[in-house]
């Protein structure tokens, strides 16, 4: 029987002071400093003739251009099929612009940063291939509450926005663990949580809470850690004043506290995990989502990555609202399907019918940031759910 092999590599890609930062439209100049380094993690899995590569990064998103170029680099360097290369951004709002759109919130695609990342991914892919070790793979789940909150509150004046402790969210923490087949030591962990990395504003480069969680885990265990972004389009950090009445500005202490709590929740997963039978595969597709104006539409990238008979990932290239994540998790009673947003592109917010009816940022006012002429049609919910259900089958 073929062993499952794992190789990992890490790289820092913190850009120079003065680099434009993506995520907030109010910024009018570049980065003033570095709170913490922006980093890449590359995880290369091989089982027999099959291989899967997962890359995580501290930035707003891998746009279509970056995704195509980085998949090509991985294929040319180590021969992995582009359909089996998954690119996941943490979606921190304190990093550079790597999307092809939203130029008014971070400037155009930063070609210098992309060139740097291309070279570092090439080196990382080679390093990962050269450090293959036999591993055992397992998965588990814990929970972290109190740190994330739904941000869609219906206010008395009819406006939408504000802390909503009663709104839907997903407090589950899912972790994939890779332990050395010889000595049992934890070698790597991929962990997922559902919360927008928007704790921080300002002009300090930072990986926000996902970066803090990764650093805390790596310090505690010595294992390489990577963050997989959940469907957190309408869920953000619970930085509120007393009573959840209004938001307050987050600060560096918040991200360290949040990161430490999330790292501990990931560690809790290790107390009860399920062994996985390796079965590596990957396939890419897209679903066409219609817009309400100008007879226009957008293609939402979809990808399914199989890691085991009992575990798959469905990754979507948009700001996916939390309802879709719950739907995807319920598609199978025999296999864990982990839903991810912010993967392989970010075409815009993907709302549900209810969100479109209510209006607000995720439904309407975010559209200009993504070059959309107006909101999506209500059919997007049915179209996306049908597409991911077919992909999960």
Q: Would you say 278 and 365 are in contact if contact means Cβ atoms under 8 Å apart?
A: no
Give dist(CA 200, CA 94) in Å, integer: 7
The CATH architecture annotation of domain 4-130 reads 2-Layer Sandwich (3.30)
Tokens of 201: 């504003």
Residue 125 burial class via C-beta count within 10 angstroms: exposed 0-12, middle 13-18, buried 19 and up: buried
Query: With helix as H, strand as E and coil as C, how does the chain read?
Result: CCCEEEEEEEEECCCCCCCCCECCCCCCCCCCEECCCCEEEEEEEEECCEEEEEEEECCCCCCHHHHHHHHHHHHHHHCCCHHHEEEEECCCCCECCCCCCCHHHCCCCCHHHHHHHHHHHHHHHHHHHHCCEEEEEEEEEEECCCCEEECCCECCCCCECCCECCCCCCCEEEEEEEEECCCCCEEEEEEEECCCCCCCCCCEECCHHHHHHHHHHHHHHCCEEEEEECCCCCEEECCECHHHCCECCCCHHHHHHHHHHHHHHHHHHCCCCEECCEEEEEEEEEEEEEECCCCCEEEEEEEEEEEECCEEEEEECCEECHHHHHHHHCCCCCCEEEEECCECCCCCEECCHHHHHHCCHHHHHCHHHHCCCCCECCHHHHHHHHHHHHHHC
DSSP strand pairing (311-316 vs 336-340): parallel
Give dist(CA 178, CA 221) in Å, integer: 12
Q: If you search the block for the tokens 């499952």, which residue do you land on?
A: 4
Q: Would you say 136 and 6 are in contact if contact means Cβ atoms under 8 Å apart?
A: no
Give dist(CA 66, CA 80) in Å, integer: 17
Given this model, what pLDDT does residue 94 score?
98
What's the pLDDT tens digit per position in 111-130? Answer: 999 999 999 999 999 999 99
Q: What distances in angstroms separate CA 150 from CA 93, 323, 341, one per listed residue?
A: 18, 11, 16
Give dist(CA 190, CA 194) in Å, integer: 14
Query: What are the residue boundaries of the structural domains of the chain, listed by start?
Result: 4-130, 136-202+210-275, 278-392
- Within a 13 Å sphere around the CA of 60, how many CA atoms are in the beta-carbon half? 31
What's the pLDDT tens digit per position in 60-119? Answer: 999 999 999 999 999 999 999 999 999 999 999 999 999 998 777 888 999 999 999 999
Given this model, what pLDDT does residue 325 score?
98
Give dist(CA 60, CA 96) in Å, integer: 7
Residue-by-residue pLDDT tens, the chain, 393 positions: 589 999 999 999 999 999 999 999 999 999 999 999 999 999 999 999 999 999 999 999 999 999 999 999 999 999 999 999 999 999 999 999 999 987 778 889 999 999 999 999 999 999 999 999 999 999 999 999 999 999 999 999 999 999 999 999 999 999 999 999 999 999 999 999 999 999 999 999 999 999 999 999 999 999 999 999 999 999 999 999 877 789 999 999 999 999 999 999 999 998 889 999 999 999 999 999 999 988 899 999 999 999 999 999 999 999 999 999 999 999 999 999 999 999 999 999 999 999 999 999 999 999 999 999 999 999 999 999 999 999 999
Cβ-proximal residues to 295 (8 Å cutoff; 6+ apart), any chain: none
Given this model, what pLDDT does residue 217 score?
97
Give dist(CA 217, CA 222) in Å, integer: 8
């Amino acid at each position: 029987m073929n062993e499952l092999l794992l190789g990992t590599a890490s790289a820092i890609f913190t850009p120079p002071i003065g680099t434009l930062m993506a995520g907030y439209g109010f910024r009018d100049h570049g980065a003033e400093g570095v709170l913490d380094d922006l980093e890449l993690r590359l995880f290369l899995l091989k089982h027999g003739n099959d291989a899967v590569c997962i890359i995580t990064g501290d930035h707003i998103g891998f746009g279509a251009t970056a995704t195509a170029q980085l998949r090509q680099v991985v294929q040319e360097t180590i021969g992995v099929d582009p359909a089996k290369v998954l690119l996941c951004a943490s979606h921190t709002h304190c990093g550079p612009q790597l999307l092809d759109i939203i130029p008014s919130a971070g400037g155009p695609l930063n070609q210098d940063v992309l060139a740097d990342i291309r070279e570092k991914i090439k080196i990382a892919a080679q390093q990962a291939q050269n450090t293959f070790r036999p591993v055992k793979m397992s998965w588990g789940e814990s929970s972290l509450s109190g740190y994330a909150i739904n941000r869609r509150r219906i206010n008395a004046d009819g406006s939408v926005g504000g802390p909503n402790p009663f709104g839907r969210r997903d407090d589950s923490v899912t972790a994939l663990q890779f332990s050395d087949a010889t000595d049992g030591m934890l070698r790597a962990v991929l962990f997922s949580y559902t919360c927008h990395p928007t704790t921080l504003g300002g002009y300090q480069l930072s990986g926000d809470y996902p970066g803090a969680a990764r650093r805390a885990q790596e310090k505690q265990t010595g294992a390489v850690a990577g963050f997989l972004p959940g469907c957190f389009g309408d869920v953000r950090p619970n930085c509120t004043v007393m009573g959840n009445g209004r938001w307050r500005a987050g600060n560096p202490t918040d991200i360290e506290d949040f990161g430490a709590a999330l790292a501990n929740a990931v560690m809790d997963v290790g107390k009860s995990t399920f062994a996985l039978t390796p079965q590596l595969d990957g396939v890419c597709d897209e679903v066409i989502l219609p817009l309400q104006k100008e007879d226009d539409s957008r293609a939402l990238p979809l990808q399914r990555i199989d890691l085991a008979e009992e575990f798959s990932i469905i990754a979507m290239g948009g700001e996916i609202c939390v309802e879709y994540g719950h739907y995807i998790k319920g598609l199978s009673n025999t296999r864990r399907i982990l839903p991810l947003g912010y993967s392989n592109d970010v075409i815009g917010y993907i709302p549900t019918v209810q969100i479109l009816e209510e209006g607000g940022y995720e439904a309407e006012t975010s559209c200009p940031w993504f070059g959309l002429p107006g909101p999506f049609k209500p059919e997007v919910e049915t179209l996306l759910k049908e597409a991911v259900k077919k992909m999960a089958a």
